Amino acid sequence: MTAPLTPLRRQIIWSRLIAVVEEQARTLMRTAFSPTVREAGDLSAGVFDLRGRMVAQAVTGTPGHVNSLAAAARHFLAARPPETLAPGDHLITNDPWMASGHLHDITVFSPVFRDGQPVAFFGCTCHQVDIGGLGMGPDARSIFEEGLYLPILPIMRAGELNTDVIAIIRGNVRVPEAVIGDIMAYITANEASGRLLNGLLDEFGLADIEALADDIIATSERGMRDAIAALPDGVWHNRMTLDGYEAPVELKVALTIAGDAVEIDFAGSAPPSRHGINLVMNYTDAYASYGVRAAIAPEIPNNAGSLAPITVKAPPGSILNVARPAPVCARHIIGQFLPELVLGCLADVMPDLIPAEGAACNWGIQLRGNAEGRPFEILFFNAGGSGARPSRDGLSATAFPSGIRSIPVEICETVAPIVIHRKELRPGSGGAGSYQGGLGQIVEVSTIDGSPFQLFAVFDRVANPARGRAGGADGAAGRLATLNGKPLRPKGLQDVAAGDGIRLELPGGGGFGVAEGG
């Protein structure tokens, strides 16, 4: 007989469940081959019930991955219902429209069995440095040019690796050992977490997680709705201009609070781009809902319950909701600004909590070349400054909203034949105000032997800096050029000549309030 789920018992089991999914993420980081996962935490991990509802997620991870993973679960279950699966099965996909928005993210979804019956799923999504195609940039004109596409299919059946799929992946990527090694890490993390979950169920005398999931999700939804209901009803608007690729991108949003629910509507936003800076709806939903969750009730667990009161809309065919086969490789260039756009609406609702705008889009430096006879492909992350807050300065070199960590210089120089000559805070890049915006960085890079290389530029805030709030000044705009002074475009694949390198000056955050004496 299962013991009743008292509040104390529920809290203990909940804490243990969070430990399980956090161990899932840590296992990913310990066993992954790619520094983007191992060092930067560019991943998500979570546990789902048999209806595909996200019950708990690891704290480690990015909103774009986590909330997209929550949406991806229903696609996995539609393609492979629980009754069709067996112990030792693992499913894989990188379908942008089903998962996290571009081919470079691989998702593995794995059933957990107990006494011969499925009781839960573990899922994880991680970024791959290479997935074939043109490479990690916005240059492609369709999804078909952006890399290898994997529909939902088994990567393992009953504990046996699908070697045909592995051979296809290996034959289509530039760094096969890293990609295959990472996929095996994802499988390992999900399997290990399944064993931990079964151990938890044994310890607490539970046959499955259904009653627990219902309780956790209902409690989270109730807490989120109560937090929303405490705010005034109304409609608030915001707009933002981003650099775009061939032309500036105009984003518009209307945020409606009605009772205990929030609607975010991006009607009026720009049409799609011919280049890969477009978003699928999963990714738009992920980052837009994160903006609401982070501001209104950050202490409530992120799961199917706390996400339920938030509805996100974007016009089909807009840059925020494109259809296949639109190019989407560099979707984060637009997507990571959506929380800032939403927070701009909430600044009128919660003026004592909402910061000024920040750099937002992470300046990931992806390089490809051949130095000292060694071909390489590397991606490492660099963050600008976040916006000043109503009561303190903004954070410098901090990746909001993605939360991705910087990869240490020593690691970058170990995995690729490059030299990072300079990586330091950029003086004066934070906007002035009662509180100053966070500082960006200055980063200088070349190959170790001065050989030529390629840069996949995926940067924004070069023409449109972070805006200050409540009278605060704008942050400094980003700049990029070669070390020899040749200007570089903020987006697109570009060649860097032999004997040269690149210099990036990352944008700063906006200031908050009028500076003393201003």
- DSSP-assigned letters across all residues of 393-414: PPPTT--TTT-PPPPPHHHHHH
Amino acid code (one letter) for 57 = Q
At 313, list the tokens: 């809309």
Q: Which residues of the chain have pLDDT under 70?
A: 1-3, 518
- Report the C-alpha gap between 266 and 318 in whole angstroms: 9
Q: Where are the alpha helices (DSSP H) in 159-209?
A: 163-170, 176-204
Report how far apart, in Å, the C-alpha atoms of 354 and of each of 27, 109, 202 are: 35, 36, 44
In DSSP notation, 135-171 reads -SSS--SSGGGS-----SEEEEETTEE-HHHHHHHHT
C-alpha torsion sign, points 130, 133, 138, 139: positive
Write down the pLDDT at residue 343.
98
| Domain locations along the chain | 7-221, 355-518
State the pTM of this model.
0.95
Q: Read off the DSSP letter of residue 332.
A: H
Question: pLDDT per residue over 208-218, tens digit each?
Answer: 999 999 999 99
> Closest by alpha carbon to 239, among 320, 319, 341, 336?
341
Q: Report the pLDDT value the prediction gives residue 3, as an integer from 0 to 100.
A: 63
Q: Residue 518: its pLDDT value, please?
A: 62
